[in-house]
Amino acid sequence: MEQWIDLAHEVVVVDSRSTDGTLALIRRRLRHPNIRIIERDRGLYASWNEGIAATTGDWVYVSTAGDTIERAQLVRLRDCGEASQADVVVSPCGFVDEAGQILPAKARRNPRIHEEMGGRGPVLLPPPVVRHLAFRSAGTHALLGSCASDLFRGDFLRARPFPRDYGTHGDTAWTLRHAHEMRLCVVPEVGSTFCIHAKETVEPKSVLMRTLDRMFETEIRPGGSGAGDELALKVRRLMRQRREAWREHRSMLGWMSANLRYLPLRVIYGVREKQSWSRLRLLADVLPRA
């Protein structure tokens, strides 16, 4: 933070009862005229929400342990956000390990939107486009990517706390929940790193899929403003039935039956998704480069 901390109006630190000297290091090294330190129990999104609620600035940058952003990138995100009047500004990031070493390309999991918008410069996506992309990208590599490479409009973020009932996927749920009202600015330049930490516990795939299933059912409601919601939900439900038929019953007949219902619908949904994206991407507003 030392290379850009003078740009910040305020700094809010949330420490979850750390015992490794982090808090002492922050108190000794972090210098800013307007700093607040919050000590609270553990809880990823509960900590985020408490820290965000304590901010007052026009823009909020959320950084977790080991993440970095370049001074020029922070300014670029802010300038693009101001110029576009966006609610959220996102950019791709590089990935590093806990020693700061750059990870190989296969470890890079930036959202598809950065590849699809490549070469167009900064673009502003209106809510209908964001909603479509949020639904399409609602998996482990969701639309926001790493928050270490994003910037949030303060008023927008403070009024919309991150959901706390989806484990470590609250930012995915947050995007689904608010995409219908979100103006998203996509900046193509890389200027930040996200640190991939060793996990304390490895989430089984079955648990992850149940979490995502529940998220879809809760955060996306049929009949909403997004095209194809009901079809997409049917596809998701058939995916779950197919998994359950094999995992819980080990029934080849049940699995094949679920597949016969799933595959044609999945093909139809894939065609409609491409058609929708071809139409919606025309709504993207290309911004002049700074």
- Report DSSP letters for 38-93, one per residue: EE----HHHHHHHHHHT--SSEE----TT-EE-HHHHHHHHHHHHHHT-SEEE---
Residue 194 tokens, joined: 């996200």
- Tell whether the model's pLDDT for residue 247 goes beyond 80: no
Write the pLDDT tens digit of every residue in 69-117: 999 999 999 999 999 999 999 999 999 998 888 888 776 788 889 988 8
Three-state DSSP at 159 gives: coil
Arithmetic mean of pLDDT, 218-240: 64
Q: Is residue 226 over pLDDT 60?
A: no
Instruction: Please give the Cα distance from 149 to 70 (Å, whole number).
Output: 10
**pLDDT exceeds 60 at position 140:** no
Q: Residue 250 pLDDT > 70, yes or no? A: no
